Amino acid sequence: MGTIAVVDYDMGNLHSACKGITEAGGTAIVTNVAREIERADAVLLPGVGAFDPAVDHLRSRNLDRPIREAIAAGKPFLGICLGLQILFDGSDEGTEPGLGIVPGRVRRFQPEPGLTVPHMGWNQLTLTQPDSALWADLPTDPWMYFVHSYYVDPRDRAARAATTTHGQQTVTAAIHCAALGSGRKNVMAVQFHPEKSASSGLKVLANFVAIANAIPAPC
């Protein structure tokens, strides 16, 4: 069974992420050690908090390099919430550059009458890449739980794996970079919290576990 490295950079709800992976049948190890990330079969990057501290914590712990190398090596990669946003070039929330793995920017919701920010609660997904392995055996237009004030805006809309709405705004709810080519089909990330999204969220994590188990173990 594949091992999933859950990256510890002091910005994620590690207990919830690990519990979700375990309930989905996976084996999770919490780590901030490059060698353990290198040896894992897949990588999960959770995240709760603000953009600039997140990328600062990653870089100060020298975790950006093993993350890049894991992605370049083709390891299945799943980002959750802030772990999605820091894959991008930068954010309206701060001034620090992101990892730049997915071209685009993180943006704040535009003001509109009656719109509450942060966006918090259950919202329905529109699956724009319905054939993504991340969505296997999910119901049509599943409901997921969101907590965020910012959303990702990929430069190439083909990266979108799902969208959702908040007020009158349609925003990216998940990405799967298979459509972008360039060896990034292993990069997946979601804005919602699958570990808080009941059976549908658990199924997303189970699908990621299945993806990790399908990849040959590293030598």
* Active site residue ranges: 81, 193, 195
CA distances to 32, 56, 132, 194 from 106, rounded to whole Å, are 25, 16, 23, 20
Q: Is residue 100 part of a domain?
A: yes
- The predicted pLDDT at position 215 comes to 63
User: Does residue 219 form part of some domain?
Assistant: no
pLDDT at 131: 92
At 218 the pLDDT is 43
Query: How many Å apart are CA 214 and CA 204, to the nearest integer?
Result: 15
Cα–Cα distance, 210 to 202 (Å, whole number): 12
- Is 78 part of a structural domain of the chain? yes
Domain membership of residue 218 (yes or no) is no
Give the number of domains in the chain. Answer: 1
11 with 47: CB under 8 angstroms?
yes
pLDDT at 47: 87
Which residues form the domain of 87?
3-213
Per-residue model confidence as pLDDT tens digits over 14-30: 888 888 899 888 999 99
The model's pTM? 0.93
Residue 87 lies in a domain: yes
Q: Classify residue 107: in a domain, yes or no.
A: yes
Q: What's the rounded Cα separation, in Å, for the pair 128 and 106?
A: 19
Examine residue 39 and state whether it is found in any structural domain, yes or no: yes
Residues of the chain with pLDDT under 50: 217-219
| CATH number of the structural domain spanning residue 178 | 3.40.50.880
User: Is 124 within the bounds of a domain?
Assistant: yes
pLDDT tens profile 43-85: 999 988 899 999 999 999 999 999 999 999 999 999 999 999 9
Buried-state track 12-50, b at ≥16 Cβ within 10 A, e below 16: bbbebbbebbeebebbbbbbbebeebeebbbbbbbbbeb
